[in-house]
Amino acid sequence: MLTNLCEEHSIKAGEVRVSGALKTVELARFDPAQKDYVKAHQGGPAEIITLQGSIATIGNQVVLRLDSLVSVDHGFGIQLASGQVRRAVVSSCEFVIDVFDDIAMTRGRDPKTGRLMLAEIESTRPAAEVQPQAAPEPAQAAVSWGDVSAASSDPSSLRAPEKEEKVEAPAPKPEPKPEPKPEPVKEKPRPKKEEPPQRKLWEDKKEEEEDPHSILGSDDDDFEDDDDSPEMKPGDILDHPKLGRCRVMKVEEEDYAHIRLPRGKISKLILHIFEIQFKGVEDGRNVFTLRMRK
């Protein structure tokens, strides 16, 4: 069918693509040992996976070379078969033919391998039509197979004219603008911190009304520290010259003592400003006498 179609429309060069299904198909393959084509497959039905080829002539006869890969159901599973199509009966198919009007392709047997191959491709257009015309537009017309064949004798005829490139001068760079200098940051005066009031040794209202120097005790008696005296511990009694007899509640590293005043209030006493003397034991508690150091 395709061969008859090409002969009716005088198609002597082109390309063919086919898709669809075949009732029966006969495929051949080339045997290098015999240097000839032998049968590869015959039967059907078959589904076309790919089928394409070229149109050329051998003498005055139009010849199609179609290479195909088909899937065939032999009853025990689907198999693939490939080769050159020798003949086929179409079930349903679609085909596309690209016709090359400006060239002629001649096929012949290669004497070395024995294969049928394209032996010659020549242009069918007059040589005058191949000469390109100078065109102001940079776009060039598409090159045909005839142009390719004619260019084999004069390759320079298809060379595109060189386009002069305009070299533009680089634009002047803008001068950098000076960056504004940052204004100096004025430091705000820091508010003066108020010094916390000194801690009062005693918070008893009655003692605040009296002369604060009266708690220092009297200086008329001699008072010496006793190195052999026992260490002060919670539960001992301090005989303060002004506050009276107080009970020790807690001692902090021999520097401070928390004492309970006779009225029950607890105050913190600085020990290193006093001279401390052990007086004895009362009811199992050590008794110490205090006097302000001179």
The sign of the dihedral angle between the CA atoms of 264, 270, 272, 273 is negative
CA distance 265 to 267: 7
CA distance 205 to 197: 17
CATH 3.40.50.10490 is right for the domain spanning 2-120: no
Strands (E), the chain: 14-31, 36-43, 46-58, 61-73, 78-99, 103-109, 116-123, 237-240, 244-252, 256-260, 266-270, 274-282, 285-292
CA distance 32 to 10: 34
pLDDT of residue 113: 80
Give me the long-range contacts of 171-176 (CB less than 8 A, separation at least 24).
none
Supply 189's token pair. 């005066």
Supply 278's token pair. 């052990």
SS3 (DSSP) at 278:
strand
pTM of the model as a whole? 0.40
pLDDT of residue 106: 86
SS3 (DSSP) at 100:
coil
Q: Could you tell me the residue ranges of all domains in the chain? A: 2-120, 205-292
CA distance 263 to 51: 120
Q: Give pLDDT tens digits along the chain (294 positions).
A: 778 888 888 787 888 898 988 888 888 888 888 888 888 888 888 889 888 888 888 888 888 888 889 888 777 778 888 888 888 888 888 889 888 888 888 888 888 887 878 878 888 777 655 555 666 666 555 666 667 666 666 655 545 556 666 667 677 777 777 777 777 766 666 766 665 554 444 444 444 444 444 333 344 444 455 567 788 889 899 888 888 889 999 888 778 888 999 888 888 888 888 888 898 998 889 998 988 887
